[in-house]
């Protein structure tokens, strides 16, 4: 019997069903222990090399996949993200070295979209402020605002953006969308309106971000964009830290320019110099924060685990993963 193919998983919460699926495909599943309180994004180059030596597949979370790391792992055929972002992966190096990089497309759409709606409701209805006041002995009622019949701006219209639009229909919201690829048929079917970013910011009571982080979108919501927003609007960012200039957001919230913010991602995730800014944002009563947890429901993680695992198996079998999952393919002839 051939030696089992080795796949290393550097993520917590890797469910039994997905592990069973991999083993049924002749895969040896290795889940190395992570240091307490640490994720794979906190591991250094040497630690990752030690964990991954001899592996033919890697199911990864937020670790940086560098050219040097790939060069040190000649047996590694496929890097499969349990998630949809890939800005921490050197795609050019992966192609140059004949590797495949995949994402778990479609696995966490519902979970993140639910999270977005939850943040809108939590900030708009002032859940955090109300509970803290009650804990302090003040049971007076704070006036919040409805999501129902509000104008909501969706920036970026990928799978998660579309899932958010679908949920907003239940709140009878008017939805404005800014995207680089307007779709008239989608607008006709859903009733959304495609508009320029400046118009969206000026008109919307809630603005939720679903764009990828690229050089063009970095700090797309800065002091100028915030100044253009409707006074009292609520900003939601569950996409990527770096779409929002958190220092400018902090200034605007302290000045009362915005009504609040729901933040699942922060610039400090990739730039430690912003850590004090993140802490100051989280200390504000009208900010509801989470530690990049939008996809981390039990059901969402099980779905993304399985999507990531299927991409690994496909590559090890010498076939193509689902096309929507492949972001780099350096195999000959691809």
Q: Which two tokens stand for residue 189?
A: 């079917």
- The fold of the 5-107+297-329 domain, in CATH, is Rossmann fold (3.40.50)
Q: Residue 218: its pLDDT value, please?
A: 97
Under DSSP, the state recorded for 269 is: G
- Nearest alpha-carbon partner for 197 in 224, 170, 173: 224
Average pLDDT of every residue of the chain:
96
| Residues 205-240: tens digit of each pLDDT | 999 999 999 999 999 999 999 999 999 999 999 999
Cβ count near 105 (within 10 Å): 23
pLDDT band of residue 334 (cuts 50, 70, 90) is confident
**What global pTM score does this model have?**
0.88
Q: Is the pLDDT of residue 1 over 50?
A: no
What angle in degrees, to the nearest 10, is found between the helix axes of 246-254 and 275-283?
30
| Residues 216-225: tens digit of each pLDDT | 999 999 999 9
Q: Residue 37: its pLDDT value, please?
A: 85
- The pLDDT of 33-39, averaged and rounded, is 90
| Residues 160-171: tens digit of each pLDDT | 999 999 999 999
**How would you label 28-56 residue by residue, b for 16+ Cβ within 10 Å and e otherwise?**
bbeeeebeeeebbeebeeebbeebbeebb
pLDDT band of residue 25 (cuts 50, 70, 90) is very high
| Residues 151-195: tens digit of each pLDDT | 999 999 999 999 999 999 999 999 999 999 999 999 999 999 999
pLDDT band of residue 333 (cuts 50, 70, 90) is confident
Q: Is the pLDDT of residue 199 over 60?
A: yes
Q: Residue 70: its pLDDT value, please?
A: 98
- The pLDDT of 108-126, averaged and rounded, is 97
- Nearest alpha-carbon partner for 136 in 301, 285, 316, 320: 285
| Residues 272-330: tens digit of each pLDDT | 999 999 999 999 999 999 999 999 999 999 999 999 999 999 999 999 999 999 999 99
Task: Quote the CA–CA distance of 250 and 189 in Å, as a whole number.
Answer: 38
- The pLDDT of 55-77, averaged and rounded, is 97
268 sits in which H/E element: none
Q: Is the pLDDT of residue 50 over 80?
A: yes
**How would you label 235-263 residue by residue, b for 16+ Cβ within 10 Å and e otherwise?**
bbbbbbbbbbbbbbbbebbeeebbbbbbb
Domain boundaries, the chain: 5-107+297-329, 109-289
- The pLDDT of 43-53, averaged and rounded, is 96
Helix ranges restricted to H, the chain = 16-24, 45-52, 67-71, 91-96, 109-124, 127-135, 159-168, 184-190, 197-203, 223-228, 246-254, 275-283, 298-316
Q: Active-site residue 149, yes or no? A: no
Q: Residue 4: its pLDDT value, please?
A: 56
> Which residue in 240, 248, 303, 310 is the catalytic one?
240
| Residues 73-89: tens digit of each pLDDT | 999 999 999 988 898 99
| Residues 255-269: tens digit of each pLDDT | 999 999 999 999 999
> Which residue in 28, 129, 269, 302 is the catalytic one?
269
Q: Which CATH number fits domain 109-289: 3.90.25.10, 3.40.710.10, 3.30.70.20, 3.40.50.720?
A: 3.40.50.720
Q: Active-site residue 292, yes or no? A: yes
Q: Residue 38: its pLDDT value, please?
A: 87
Q: Is the pLDDT of residue 93 over 90?
A: yes
């Amino acid at each position: 019997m051939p030696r089992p193919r080795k796949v290393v998983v550097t993520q917590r919460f890797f469910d039994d069903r997905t592990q069973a699926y991999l083993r049924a495909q002749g895969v040896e599943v290795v889940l190395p222990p992570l240091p307490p309180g640490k994720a794979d994004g906190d591991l250094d180059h040497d630690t990752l090399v030690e964990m991954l030596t001899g592996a033919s597949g890697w199911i990864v979370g937020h670790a940086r996949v560098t050219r040097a790391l790939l060069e040190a792992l000649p047996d590694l055929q496929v890097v499969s993200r349990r998630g949809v972002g890939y800005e921490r992966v050197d795609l050019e190096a992966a192609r140059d070295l004949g590797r495949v990089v995949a994402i778990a497309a479609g696995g966490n759409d519902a979970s993140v979209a639910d999270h977005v709606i939850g943040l809108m409701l939590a900030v708009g209805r002032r859940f955090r402020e109300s509970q803290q006041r009650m804990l302090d002995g003040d049971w007076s009622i704070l006036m919040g605002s409805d999501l129902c019949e509000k104008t909501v701006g969706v920036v970026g219209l990928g799978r998660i953006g579309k899932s958010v639009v679908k949920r907003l229909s239940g709140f009878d919201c008017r939805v404005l969308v800014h995207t680089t690829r307007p779709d008239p048929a989608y607008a006709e079917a859903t009733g959304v309106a495609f508009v320029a970013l400046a118009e969206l910011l000026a008109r919307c009571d809630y603005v939720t971000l679903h764009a990828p982080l690229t050089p063009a979108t970095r700090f797309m919501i800065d002091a100028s964009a915030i100044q253009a927003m409707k006074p009292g609007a609520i900003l939601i960012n569950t996409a990527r830290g770096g779409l929002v200039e958190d220092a400018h957001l902090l200034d605007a919230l302290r000045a009362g320019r915005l009504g609040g913010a729901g933040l699942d991602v922060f610039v400090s995730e990739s730039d430690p110099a912003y850590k004090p800014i993140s802490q100051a944002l989280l200390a504000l009563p009208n900010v509801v924060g989470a530690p990049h947890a939008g996809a981390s429901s039990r059901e969402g993680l099980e779905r993304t685990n399985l999507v990531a695992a299927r991409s690994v198996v496909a590559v090890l079998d010498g076939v193509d993963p689902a096309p929507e999952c492949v972001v780099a393919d350096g195999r000959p002839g691809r």
